[in-house]
Amino acid sequence: MASYVDASLIEGETVLYRGHISIWSLMPYLVLGLVFAPVLGIGVIIWLLAWVKYKTTELAVTSRRLIAKFGFISRTTVELNIQKAESIQVIQSIFGRLLDYGTIVISGAGNPQAPIPGVSRPLEFRKAFLAAQEGALGKSPGN
């Protein structure tokens, strides 16, 4: 079974960067699972939910779009043409800075904001997005 990102690519579009959510962003699930582990397997169910969230979140920057997919049975996607993006923000808490994860918020024309929480190495993700955007707009880096 192909990933959502690979299945949604259009002709001539290539994946330039694949991002992931950080395991650290799932820490509340992991701690809650540990607390409830002795209670009739509730902890295992919480850990399973964290694992599913981790495995079913896909993030990619392509030559034409930003693609983010969340969920397994119910699916939420964010697909934004990189030429239409007006700004990209990185929001990191103190722990996010220390553990290198954060939320990416992309604002685009006609799309107020598209937040993508828990991204691992968000500054690297932003850098890949900006490089792809410059390439799509026909600019060379630094101009």
60-76 b/e (C-beta count within 10 Å ≥ 16 → b): bbbebbbbbbbeeeeee
pLDDT tens-place string over residues 65-110: 999 999 888 888 888 888 888 889 999 999 999 999 999 998 877 7
User: Domain spans of the chain?
Assistant: 16-136
Pick the CATH number of 16-136 from 2.30.29.30, 1.10.3720.10, 2.30.110.10, 3.60.20.10: 2.30.29.30
* Dihedral class, residue 107 (left if φ above 0, else alpha if ψ from -120 to 50, else beta): beta
- The identity of residue 69, as a single letter, is K
Output the pLDDT for position 74: 87
Is the entire prediction scored with pTM above 0.95? no
Six-digit token string for 107: 């604002």
Q: What is the mean pLDDT of residues 1-30?
A: 89
**Lowest model confidence (mean pLDDT) among 48-52, 72-76, 88-92, 112-116:** 112-116
